[in-house]
Amino acid sequence: MAKLGLIIKQETERILSEKLQGADSLLLVNYSGISASDLNVLRNSLSSTGSSLMVIKNSVGKRIFKPNQDLYSLIEGPCGIIFVHKDLISISQVIYSFIKDKPNLKVKAGLLKDRVLTQKELEGLSKIPSLSALQAKLAGGLKSPIVGVVLGLKQILNKLVWVLEQIKDKKGPM
């Protein structure tokens, strides 16, 4: 009969492998000095964006990331993995806004497809406007020339009406 600790590690490894396959990208964080209630706050803010945070044992993490030496070497101390399912930019914005309040949370690295992202690259991603903000800027940029044409045509019509009013005033009542 297998030991309970071994069964738990194997099950954790299986769940972690499934989550890794379902995620578009991931972030590796060190949560040393963060309370459990603060981690729950972070989990709630991540779940609203379609992502999740999983605290892992280092031995399990090293077995999972053994093929990727860049991430393997970063598995030390209290580690957590943030699984990103949609937009890495919005998730990095959530993380770095959380870090402003709780600077003990450290982003070690990220993985986007097969590319390892450094902490500086992830911080740079957090400063990019969100997808909805970029879409709003694009819509505003496309709208402004049209608004200019409409206002220009309105001015021409206003001037025509003004000239006709002046002519009518000069000629007097009919």
User: What confidence category does residue 174 fall into, taking pLDDT thresholds of 50, 70 and 90?
Assistant: low
Q: What is the mean pLDDT of residues 153-170?
A: 86
What pLDDT score was predicted for residue 1? 60
Distance CA 68, CA 73 (A): 9
Cα distances from 90 to residues 45, 51, 78, 84, 103, in angstroms, run 11, 10, 24, 10, 19
- Per-residue model confidence as pLDDT tens digits over 131-142: 778 888 888 888
Between the alpha carbon of residue 133 and those of residues 47, 56, 128, 129, the distances in Å are 21, 34, 10, 6
Task: Tell me what the pLDDT averaged over the chain comes to.
Answer: 84
90-103: average pLDDT: 87
Model confidence pLDDT, tens digit, residues 58-76: 888 888 888 777 787 888 8
Confidence of residue 153 (pLDDT cuts 50, 70, 90): confident
Residue 8: predicted pLDDT: 83
Fill in the DSSP letter of residue 80.
E
Higher pLDDT, 105 or 144: 105
| Whole-number pLDDT of residue 52 | 87
DSSP conformation class of 51: -
Residues 6+ apart with CB under 8 A from 149: none
The helix (H) or strand (E) run that includes residue 25 is strand 25-30
93 has pLDDT over 80? yes
61 burial via Cβ count (<10 Å: 0-12, 13-18, 19+): buried
Tell me the residue type at 71. Answer: L
pLDDT in tens, 33-42: 888 888 888 8
- For the chain, the straight-line distance linking the first and the last C-alpha, in angstroms and rounded, comes to 111
Per-residue pLDDT averaged across 86-110, rounded? 86
> In the block, which residue shows the tokens 């005033």?
169
